[in-house]
Structure 1
Amino acid sequence: MDLRNRVVLVTGGATGLGRAISLELARANMLVAINYSRSEDDARETMQAIEELGGQCMMVKGDVSSSEQVEKLVQEVVNRFGRLDAVVANAGTTVFRPFEDLDGITEEDWDRILGVNVKGVWFTAKAAAPYLKANGSGRIVITTSVAGIRPSGSSLPYSVSKAAANHLTKGLAKAMAPDVLVNAIAPGLLDTRWTRGHREDTIQNFLNSSPLKRVATLEDCARQVRVLIETDSMTGEIVVVDAGSSL
């Protein structure tokens, strides 16, 4: 896909990895719709950064765990730009609990994490599908995690949700072919607001397990998202971006 003047919706696009993705795609001359639920100030800063690059951008508020809100925000994007060519389903949430702390996880934690990380991807893909198919060359890229490949990460429900997102990637790829290509990136530990609460020894253990002795950066992941939007020959793939730590 030639990315110039194509329209992309990035859910959770205001902060962390979503911000890096939004900026990377703006540099590729895509028109970027930044979805946020609570981080309005961050979304505005990201939009301003894109405009300073000479790009076109809009902010669109909505909680991806609500099908009604997702349908509304997708329609807002189409009303503004007249089309929708790609979606990056990046919005996510978690809680930080040791796996063995079964009593520390509430039913509300499960509902919220699965609601955003799994149902949110489904709602976004379903709402965007008619517009992505209309162009005959739509793209969806889902942000999952290495925690969905092996039990790890911030909590048990988070790991389970990302495993479900990995399987959903493959299911959507099959369901939406040949008009829409669906792939995912599975980052390892990243330097974001979610991971800065990790103990120093946890981060050091991750570095020790990496053959490259580093963590993947937000920019590493953002560039991979761009590759998956540009590709014409991959679908249903989970691309791990973790500096080799899962080897």
Structure 2
Amino acid sequence: MSETGNTGLKGRVAVVTGASSGIGRATAIRLAGLGASVVVGYNSRREAAEEVVRSLPGEGHAALRIAIDDTACVADAARAVEERFGRLDVLVNNGGATEPVPANDLDGLTDDIFDRVLRVNLRGPFAVVRAFRPLLERGTNAAVVNVSSIAARTGMGSSLAYCAAKGGLDTLTVGLAKVLAPKIRVFSVSPAGVDTDFVAGRTRQQLEAMAAKMPLGKITSPDDVAQAVIACITLLTSSTGIIVPVDEGRHL
């Protein structure tokens, strides 16, 4: 469902990390459709990010490199947003990465892999929030939404490091909600088995088999997750520090 023409976020500014594809792209489209000026954050896929910007409804959008595991890059990005917009109302921490290692292969999950996965998926979102906090405090009804994973709850995912990182991200969400209140609300959305490039190693048949085991019996789309992000920002105005599952009932 298109949000084009709805101006519920008109005049607001949103930053979405990892927005060159998948959940980030779908979220950027939803935010722009609601009237927000969207900064499409990317790490290495500049051309893809610029294509997302061109596809967004409305005006005032931009592509910006935000390598979330690079503190200096994140700080530069925050300065660039301040210079261009002078404010920030929405921050969606969607950037992430993983290196698949079977859960029972403890030796295969090397220190280097473990550290990188935690650096990108846990320390990275914290660094982004820390850098953009002053701008968010100038925003209107400001909100941070961290894109987590059902792996945080099930302990099953691409690797044990990824599960641990997403578990830490959910805990970080609760902690940030406390320390950033009342000016900034903080949420996590927790998807499972989303049909994106991130799970491209799974065949369509495997995704459908996973979906068949879910209470709602379907594959989660990037837009399903984007809608949950929008709900946190626009509807849950009296809530903070909550984790919203978007997993077709898998958490049950």
TM-score (norm 1): 0.95
Aligned to 1:236: 241
Q: Distance in 1 between matches of 2:241 and 2:86?
A: 28
Residue 174 (structure 1) aligned with residue 174 (structure 2): no
Fraction of identical pairs, as percent: 33
Q: Distance in 1 between matches of 2:206 and 2:107?
A: 23
SS in 1 for 2:103: coil
Aligned to 2:5: none
Aligned to 1:26: 32
Aligned to 2:141: 137
SS in 2 for 1:186: strand
- Which consecutive aligned stretches of 4+ in structure 1 deviate over 3 angstroms post-superposition? 199-202
Q: Distance in 1 between matches of 2:12 and 2:70?
A: 26
User: Is contact 2:87–2:138 with CA below 8 Å preserved after alignment?
Assistant: no
Q: Distance in 2 between matches of 1:37 and 1:180?
A: 25
Q: Distance in 2 between matches of 1:100 and 1:49?
A: 43
Residue among 139, 148, 153 paired with 1:149: 153
User: Is contact 2:121–2:166 with CA below 8 Å preserved after alignment?
Assistant: yes
**What are the residue-to-residue correspondences of 1:192-231 with 2, within 5 Å?**
192-199=196-203, 202-230=206-234, 231=236
Alpha-carbon RMSD across the aligned residues, in angstroms, is 1.6
Can you give the 5+ residue segments of structure 2 that lack an aligned partner in the other structure?
A: 1-7
User: Is contact 1:87–1:140 with CA below 8 Å preserved after alignment?
Assistant: yes
**Deviation larger for 75-84 or 167-176:** 75-84
Displacement of 1:55 in angstroms is: 3.3
User: Is contact 1:27–1:55 with CA below 8 Å preserved after alignment?
Assistant: no
SS in 2 for 1:34: strand
In the alignment, residue 156 of structure 1 is paired with which amino acid? L
User: Is contact 1:173–1:182 with CA below 8 Å preserved after alignment?
Assistant: yes
Aligned to 2:118: 114
In the alignment, residue 185 of structure 1 is paired with which amino acid? V
Q: Distance in 2 between matches of 1:94 and 1:86?
A: 25
Can you give the 5+ residue segments of structure 1 that lack an aligned partner in the other structure?
A: none
Residue 82 (structure 1) aligned with residue 86 (structure 2): yes
